[in-house]
Chain A
Amino acid sequence: MRLLQYAILILVAVAAPGVVLTRDPKPQVVTLSFYGLLCGLMFFIFQAPDVALSQITIGAVMLPLLILLALTKMRRHNMRQQQKAQK
């Protein structure tokens, strides 16, 4: 059990800088989602299943989804701006 706990802590510690070092927003969403999943696993290993469930649903599903949706919205806004400039 101890070994598992140390292993997941190290994994989370490695994944966190990975998210920060991914500079492009779209790949960053994927790494963020993976990091959220790892955090959920960490809570589960530390025997907090309630928190793990919230973390997986929010950190690995909803947060990346909302970021992706916001990115799409921004891109469309930029496209419209460009079209207006061309006219």
Chain B
Amino acid sequence: MSSRARTTLFLVAAAGLAVILVLGLIDLPPMGDYRGPYGYVVTQVAVYERHATDVVNAINYDYRAFDTLGEEFILFASVVGVLLLFRPSPNQQGEQEQQKGGDLEDDEESLPVSDALRVSTQVIMGVMIVFGVYIATHGQLTPGGGFQGGVILASTPILIYLAGDVRAFEKITSSPLVKLAECGGAGGYGVIGIIALLAGTHFLTNYLPLGTTGDLFSSGTIAVISVVVGLEVTGGFVQLTQVYLREIVESQLKREE
């Protein structure tokens, strides 16, 4: 197809799309206009029914917990997919042994890490871990929850790597606890649901005592699921960064020796 024909085809298609878009957008309700009864009902009922002050998480981890279970397994499956893609193949292992003598001539000499960076990272690390745990465990009370807290926790090992402590990074990310957190978190969500089935109610019913509204240990399974999701997300993302950085970390460790 010549470039002229392509341009005409694009112009015709773009004009059609523009017409459809304008027609579709012309009758949109004004900004902030909400008509469904569902949102109003849930926001009024959630605090009394579930003792969770963050209604969003009451929906995510209770009323619509089954949908969130599906989302958890989307993340789980994609992490497993990346790990599978990057697994060392037998072919590659032979290659690496061959290269042992002449490893990649690293043009990038690893930059020296200043003391200021090292110290400030140590301070920030502690704050980040506490903040991540806080976000993950207070999902039922304040905005946040397991997913957000998990991502914050998972970004702490990268700070260690940036501060130049490759050995500690390797030790943390290759720990079997990381895998345990991911698999245990993903499986634990299902187990919480199945316990409800065994108790004779519906899947993922909130069967734990609800406690006092506003307490840390309240809202029954919402808090538990939030923590479980946090474990899964932390494990998943830490493993992702580990497989991406594995090669670089290995060559840096070799150089240190």
Contact = CB atoms under 8 A, between A and B. Distances in A.
Contacts of B152: 57
A54 B147 contact: yes
Nearest to A6: B31
Given A5-B31, A70-B244, A79-B104, A61 B155 contact: yes
A66 interface: yes
Nearest to A46: B32
Given A50-B57, A62-B237, A73-B244, A83 B148 contact: no
Interface residues on A, range: 20 to 34
B247 A66 contact: no
Contacts of A50: 54, 56-57, 143-145, 148
B135 interface: yes
Contacts of A49: 143
Interface residues on B, range: 20 to 34
Contacts of A76: 104, 247-248
Interface in A19-67: 49-50, 52-54, 57-58, 61-62, 65-66
A49 B144 CA distance: 8
B158 interface: yes
A13 interface: no
A3 B135 CA distance: 30
Contacts of B31: 5
Nearest to B155: A61
Given A50-B57, A72-B248, A76-B248, A65 B241 contact: yes
For A57, A61, A72, the residue with the greatest tally of chain B CB atoms inside 10 Å of its CB is A57
A80 B54 contact: no
A62 B148 CA distance: 11
Interface of B: 31, 54, 56-57, 104-105, 107, 135, 143-145, 147-148, 151-152, 154-155, 158, 237, 240-241, 244-245, 247-248
8 contacts: A53-B135, A53-B144, A57-B151, A57-B155, A66-B244, A69-B244, A70-B244, A79-B107
